[in-house]
Amino acid sequence: MTAQDAASALGSAFAGLETADAPPGAALYRGKVRDVLSRGDRAVLVASDRISAFDRVLSTVPWKGEILSRISSWWFRQTDDLVPNHLLPASATGGRDATAVTGRAVAALRCDMIPAEVVVRGYLTGSAWRDYRAGKPIAGLSPSVKLPSGLRYCERFPAPLLTPSTKEAEGHDRPATGEELVASGHVDAELWREIERAALALFRRGQELAASRGLILVDTKYEFGIAGGRLVVADEIHTPDSSRYWYADGYDARLSAGEHQRELDKETFRRWLVDRGFSGDGEPPKIDDAVRVETALRYADTYRAILGEPFEPVFRDARAAGVAIASLAREVLGD
């Protein structure tokens, strides 16, 4: 995908599933980024091209949803020996892979979602760095974990940390330690132990595979659910929306110099907003075409960096994607 491709696709980005493409018997939930169709014990998650920052949907970025779906499906396949995930087997969709056919939809088990965002951090950066530098406990970190003093900006933790938060239906999520999630009844104690184990195993695999591509998986967020009585990892995994990646090359030199690391994620868009004085409150700036194109190219770079091959869209036209998704939804959810 070139800048020219992205520029000419600005007008036909996939803003969301058309209501007419939903089978009549299915429920439609619109998240900030994905539209979720469900019926009975099955769901079809459709990643749109909407982009959110500071919990607000602000624009669309061509092929962002397709890139995210394909990255996530790739990671689910790379980790399904470790932790069961919400993807339906290809046999449920006529032997074809739902994401390969539609570009941006996945056929999944409908889960009862656990109302927690399970954040795992491998390195001292972001909000954890801000807390640590200020001498405060890292938000969400269990008080039973003692961190060494004198860690540097972007330094690797002795072992990955879990810093969960609640997942709220309304309003902002708030940091909550595992102990707090259990005490407040967000999750059962036994189940939380299972979630911790699963999250750390997924993260370790993620770091290993990322390293084989010259990348560092810095931190990420998992969502888990219960389907058919068992724990599965749901939502999306190790995508640039849910994760931070750095380039491994030059990491040590930048660490020693106290510099920012070279990042591979949607910070491009956030930074653009912050540079214009927007960090969530008040009126957002008008999102111009240049930043939408630039962000699309960054997402395509991420795809290439993680999967090791250039991104080529399955559909160049949002309407054609809609037709393929509607047909998949009927197959998975019934008419």
Ligand X SMILES: Nc1ncnc2c1ncn2[C@@H]1O[C@H](COP(=O)(O)OP(=O)(O)OP(=O)(O)O)[C@@H](O)[C@H]1O
Q: Does 65 bind ligand X (CB under 6 A)?
A: no
Question: With b meaning 16 or more CB within 10 Å and e meaning fewer, what string describes 297-313?
Answer: bbbbbbbebbeeeebeb
Give the one residue of 3, 8, 11, 32 binding ligand X; rule: CB under 6 A.
Answer: 32
CA distances 5 to 65, 100, 317, Å, are 16, 20, 12
Give the one residue of 1, 17, 36, 67 binding ligand X; rule: CB under 6 A.
Answer: 36
Q: Does 108 bind ligand X (CB under 6 A)?
A: yes
Q: To the nearest whole angstrom, how small is the minimum distance from the Cβ of residue 259 to ligand X?
A: 31
- In angstroms, the CA 8 to CA 60 distance is 13
Q: To the nearest whole angstrom, how small is the minimum distance from the Cβ of residue 193 to ligand X?
A: 21
CA distances 16 to 142, 169, 286, Å, are 38, 20, 21
**DSSP codes of every residue in 275-318:** HTT-SSSSPPPPPPHHHHHHHHHHHHHHHHHHHSS----S-SSH
Give the one residue of 34, 42, 244, 292 binding ligand X; rule: CB under 6 A.
Answer: 34
Closer residue to ligand X in complex, CB, 118/124: 118
Q: To the nearest whole angstrom, how small is the minimum distance from the Cβ of residue 158 to ligand X?
A: 31
Q: Does 37 bind ligand X (CB under 6 A)?
A: no
Asked if residue 300 lies in contact with residue 63, where contact means CB atoms within 8 angstroms, the answer is yes
Asked if residue 161 lies in contact with residue 141, where contact means CB atoms within 8 angstroms, the answer is yes
Q: Using the rule CB under 6 A, give the single segment among 5-13, 105-113, 208-216, 309-317 that binds ligand X.
A: 105-113
Q: To the nearest whole angstrom, how small is the minimum distance from the Cβ of residue 34 to ligand X?
A: 4
Closer residue to ligand X in complex, CB, 91/212: 91
Interacting residues with ligand X between 70 and 99 (CB under 6 A): 86
Give the one residue of 6, 37, 43, 273 binding ligand X; rule: CB under 6 A.
Answer: 43
- In angstroms, the CA 324 to CA 107 distance is 13
* One-letter identity of residue 93: T
Contact residues for ligand X (CB under 6 A)? 31-34, 36, 43, 45, 86, 108-111, 113, 223, 225, 234-235
